[in-house]
Amino acid sequence: GAIISGMINYQNWDRNPEEIQFKKNGTDEIEIFTPTDIKHFVVKHEKYISTRVSINQSPTQIDALEYGALPKLQSKTVFLETLVEGDKPLYHFKDAEERVNFFIVIDGVFKLLEYKKYLKDQRGRKYIATNKRFLEQLKYYLSDCSINDKILDGVNYKKNELVTVFVQYYDCTNRDKSLIKEVEKSKVQLS
């Protein structure tokens, strides 16, 4: 496929964009590209790839939690943000409802790292439980690092913590990594 250079209306996105506005140069008409139009784009220090993945659509607000540990999945073509690029990549997706999803790639297939807060009953009382299957998935994914149990101990389903795990993994294995996303401590909107 052809590579086009130009200008993207960069919004320092907190949520993954559903489309991008593009101009070849300042006087051109704005073109709109969605994930079905282009394979990937790079802007500033960020790289997004378009692919079809199973997104976790389970509610995350405490008062909207549902019963059942399994994520409610929906297949969608989206722009995934590249957090780590290399032999063992890591991708991120946050939707308009602030739901966060992380993905790894096994044998060319994008796999959702599973995490879900859900309701459970015990002795007639309702409480909140957490499906943290992502820790088992990462243990398998990063199994060629002998210290991965220690690295994964107490890790939460958060961008900065998962990127830190991958930095330690790449340091441990000396594998090649071509991109590690600097995760902002807090979002500052620059104009």
Q: Say which DSSP state 114 is in.
A: P
In one-letter notation, the amino acid at residue 20 is I
pLDDT band at 186 (very low <50, low <70, confident <90, very high): very low
Measured in whole angstroms, how far is the alpha carbon of residue 164 from the centre of its chain? 14
Q: Which two tokens stand for residue 132?
A: 């943290």
Distance CA 70, CA 48 (A): 27
What integer pLDDT is reported at residue 131 of this predicted model?
97
What integer pLDDT is reported at residue 183 of this predicted model?
54
What integer pLDDT is reported at residue 181 of this predicted model?
64
| pTM for this entry | 0.87
